[in-house]
Amino acid sequence: MMKILILKIYKLYKQKRLFEILKFFIHIYTISLIPRFGKRIIKINIPNRINCVKKIKDEELLFRIFNSYKLMKKDQKKTDILYYPSENWEYKINSDYKDLLEANNNDNFIMFANFILNFGISEKWLGIDNYYFSKKN
């Protein structure tokens, strides 16, 4: 019995159909799981804001990102307008990403680190679409 199963699997592999069949069974299995989770409520926990005045765990990494960001903003002035953000994003960056721009202009690493460390838990909506995923007030 086992030998026949192995031979069938080998034959499917030779015909280059094995992965297609495995994908099919994975999809069937996944669909069978949906009714089990139907009545559950999904909750997303949002952590509290981090104030990075105290010692930062990944300070070296954040400092490298900060330097890279400053170099990128300096190079951006030399690039073609084709590579600039769209109008919507330009507005969004100037309004809701003010801390990031001020950190670059004032060479303020702490402000930059606060922005990065609190990016996903900001009170502001940081995208330009899918606004219905924003936090409830």
User: Taking 70 as the threshold, does the pLDDT of residue 124 lie above it?
Assistant: no
Kindly report the pTM of this predicted structure.
Answer: 0.54
pLDDT at 13: 84
The pLDDT assigned to 137 comes to 45
For residue 75, what are the contacts with CB-CB under 8 A and spacing of at least 6?
A: none
CA atoms within 13 A on the CB side of 40: 8
What integer pLDDT is reported at residue 44 of this predicted model? 62
130 compared with 76, residue with greater pLDDT: 76
Query: 135, 46 in Cβ contact below 8 A?
Result: yes
